[in-house]
């Protein structure tokens, strides 16, 4: 099982919305069973980052850098560029 973590600043509502959108996109490709998506508070990243394969960020770019592939969650909020960003995430997961 691969893991995507999604974090937004402070609250969790935005990251959960993006997480569900990612889950739906994964389901469309039959990957729902092989990739899990977790919405977390930005302060929890250090705890979760070790077991995650991909980090989808909704907080400010450049706030902190992590050693795993990091992508923007914003396209999944605006709809603009969502397919491109999702394709990159799949490639990073080795599912592209």
Partner 1 sequence: MSTVASLLHPDFVRVGVRAASRDDLLREMADQLLARGTVEPTFADALLAREEKFPTGLPTAVMPVAIPHTDPEHVNESFLSVARLAEPVTFHQMGANAQTVEVELVVMIALADATSQLTTLQSLIGMFSDTETMEALKAAPDADALFAIIARTIS
Q: Which is nearer to partner 1, 20 or 95 (CB)?
A: 20
Q: How far apart are CA 21 and CA 28, in angstroms?
A: 11
Dist CA 28 CA 60 (whole Å): 29
Looking at the DSSP bridge assignments, the partners of residue 71 are: 56
- Separation of alpha carbons 47 and 33, rounded Å: 23
Give the one residue of 59, 70, 88, 95 binding partner 1; rule: CB under 8 A: 59
Question: Other C-beta atoms within 10 Å of 21: how many?
Answer: 19
5 counts as binding partner 1 under rule CB under 8 A: no
Taking CB under 8 A as the binding criterion, the range among 14-22, 28-36, 43-51, 85-93 that sits at the site for partner 1 is: 14-22
Q: Does residue 77 belong to the site contacting partner 1 (CB under 8 A)? A: yes
Q: Which two tokens stand for residue 67?
A: 């050693």
The residue (of 11 and 96) whose beta carbon lies closer to partner 1 is 11
20-49 residues near partner 1, rule: CB under 8 A: 20-21
Residues that bind partner 1 (CB under 8 A): 8-14, 16-17, 20-21, 57-61, 72-74, 77-80, 82
């Amino acid at each position: 099982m691969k893991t995507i973590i999604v974090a937004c600043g402070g609250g969790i509502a935005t990251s959960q919305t993006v997480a569900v959108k990612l889950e739906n996109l994964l389901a469309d490709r039959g990957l729902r069973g092989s990739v899990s998506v977790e919405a977390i508070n930005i302060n929890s990243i250090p705890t979760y980052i070790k077991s995650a394969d991909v980090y989808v960020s909704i907080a400010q770019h450049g706030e902190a850098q992590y050693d795993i592939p990091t992508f923007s969650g914003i396209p999944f909020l605006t709809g603009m560029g969502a397919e491109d960003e999702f394709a990159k995430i799949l490639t990073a997961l080795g599912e592209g």
